[in-house]
Amino acid sequence: PQVTYTDHTGASRTVAANVGDSVMETAVRNGVPGIVAECGGSLSCATCHVYVDQDALDSLPPMEEMEDEMLWGAAEDRQDNSRLSCQLKVTDGCDLHVTTPTTQV
């Protein structure tokens, strides 16, 4: 599988991802800008905020209550397609495209 990240300037990067890794880990390991991930994935920073393509959104597992709560504290306003990328697992056969907020560089 692969994950494509588009930053707020419109620049995109596509990287190969390992099944089971999070979308956040995949970005950090590949040096993809736009995902800060201050807390390292422990669901306490909301600096891994991403916007997921609408058509892929339905195929993702629904968010847990804690992710939902953390998203209200994200620096850039949450949208209907907001998720925290440390909670998004890469799955087999599912390529994802996410857009990162202007507040995360």
CB-based contact 52:83 (threshold 8 Å): yes
Could you tell me the smallest distance in angstroms from the CB atom of residue 64 to ligand FES?
A: 12
Beta bridge partners of 82: 51
Closest residue to ligand FES, judged by C-beta, is 86
Could you tell me the smallest distance in angstroms from the CB atom of residue 61 to ligand FES?
A: 15
Structure tokens at 64: 């847990």
- Contact between 46 and ligand FES (CB under 6 A)? yes
Which residues form the interface with ligand FES (CB under 6 A)? 24, 37-39, 41, 43-48, 70, 84, 86
